Chain A
Amino acid sequence: MDPDRRRWFAAQVEQITDRLYGTALRLTRNPEQAEDLVAETVVKAWARLDELRDPQAFQGWIQRILSNAFVSEWRRRRACPEVAVAPCEEGADEPFSLYEKLHQPFLLWWSDPEESLMANLLREDLERALDALPEAYRIVVLLVDVQGHSYPEAAEALRVPLGTVRSRLSRARSQLQRALWQHAQEAGLLKALP
């Protein structure tokens, strides 16, 4: 055992633990499962450390180990991942743009709704909107938007065609933005800034 190598690995893991846990929590939506997933990831990363060619790429590399571990288990749990998208409410898959909603003329008359929303949008608002997405949509958003996977990488991890990644992402973003719009209205986030 090389103690320097072990120390280096421990320091890298320490730096990224919060991010790994946060991603695991959004993927699993369960604190205990999230902890198990992070622990499993650390064990796998150590076992595969020789595969890491560029030490600077450690963070992206270990995050991919985490998402791949989650997706493998998710696929295993589902006999048919292609139909894993839960049925949505009617109209939920319609294209939706939060930006267009915020730039409706009647809103622009009396405030800057975009600035107001961004200033008042809390982390928990986003977490709630993400957690409410159907599982297959949530996973693809987390892989691409949060973990920075390319579309081909996400397609490979999920074992679905590239077109499926594109369509799920598009629907997921519409649903996410619709949820944020509804929340913004209900919570009064669009009030004029002081």
Chain B
Amino acid sequence: MKHIHDPQIRCEEVLRQLFAYLDREVDARTAALIDRHLEACRGCFGRASFERKLKAHLKAAAHKPAPARLRSRIKDILDKF
């Protein structure tokens, strides 16, 4: 996918900070620069979308039906409160 020339922030810098950006760990000014860059650069936008989807898949992987034994154990605990 094609990248663009952005005088405010280069693609290399966007990709270097991409995970911190997705984790909301960059400052507001950097986040705004990356936001604007992603609106214009198809290459970086594609990469950001992919990493977002993968992160969502990971989060979903931590959802597992609790066994009946655990539910019963929790009920016993709650009954004692």
Task: Spell out A's residues near B (CB within 8 Å).
Answer: 1, 6, 9-10, 13, 17-23, 25-26, 31, 35, 38-39, 42-43, 46, 97-99, 102-103, 114, 118, 121, 123, 126-127, 130, 141-142, 144-147, 150-151, 166, 169-170, 173, 177
Cross-chain contact A43 with B61 (CB below 8 angstroms): no
Interface size class of B (residues with CB under 8 A): 20 to 34
Measured between beta carbons, the chain A residues less than 8 angstroms from B20 are 166
Interface residues of B in 34-67 (CB under 8 A from A): 46-47, 50-51, 53-55, 57-67
Measured between beta carbons, the chain A residues less than 8 angstroms from B64 are 18, 21-22, 25
- The verdict on A146 contacting B25 (CB below 8 Å), with A39-B70, A114-B50 known, is no
Measured between beta carbons, the chain B residues less than 8 angstroms from A114 are 50
Cross-chain contact B50 with A99 (CB below 8 angstroms): yes
- The verdict on A151 contacting B61 (CB below 8 Å), with A10-B78, A39-B77, A99-B50 known, is no
Is residue B29 within 8 Å, beta carbon to beta carbon, of the partner chain?
no
Is residue B3 within 8 Å, beta carbon to beta carbon, of the partner chain?
no
**Partner pick for A98 among B25, B54, B69, B74, CB 8 A cutoff:** B54
Q: In angstroms, how far is the closest chain A Cβ from the Cβ of B44?
A: 11
Closest 9 CB pairs of A and B: A22-B64, A21-B66, A126-B61, A146-B62, A22-B62, A23-B62, A35-B70, A22-B63, A99-B50
Measured between beta carbons, the chain A residues less than 8 angstroms from B47 are 97, 99
Task: Spell out B's residues near A (CB within 8 Å).
Answer: 1, 19-20, 23-25, 46-47, 50-51, 53-55, 57-67, 69-71, 73-74, 77-78, 81
Q: How many angstroms from the CA of A140 to the CA of B74 in the assembled complex?
A: 27
Cross-chain contact A9 with B65 (CB below 8 angstroms): no
Cross-chain contact B61 with A22 (CB below 8 angstroms): yes
Measured between beta carbons, the chain B residues less than 8 angstroms from A6 are 78, 81
**Partner pick for B78 among A13, A126, A145, A147, CB 8 A cutoff:** A13
Q: In angstroms, how far is the closest chain B Cβ from the Cβ of A19?
A: 5
Q: How many angstroms from the CA of A163 to the CA of B25 in the assembled complex?
A: 13
B77's closest neighbor in chain A, by CB? A42
Q: In angstroms, how far is the closest chain B Cβ from the Cβ of A192?
A: 19
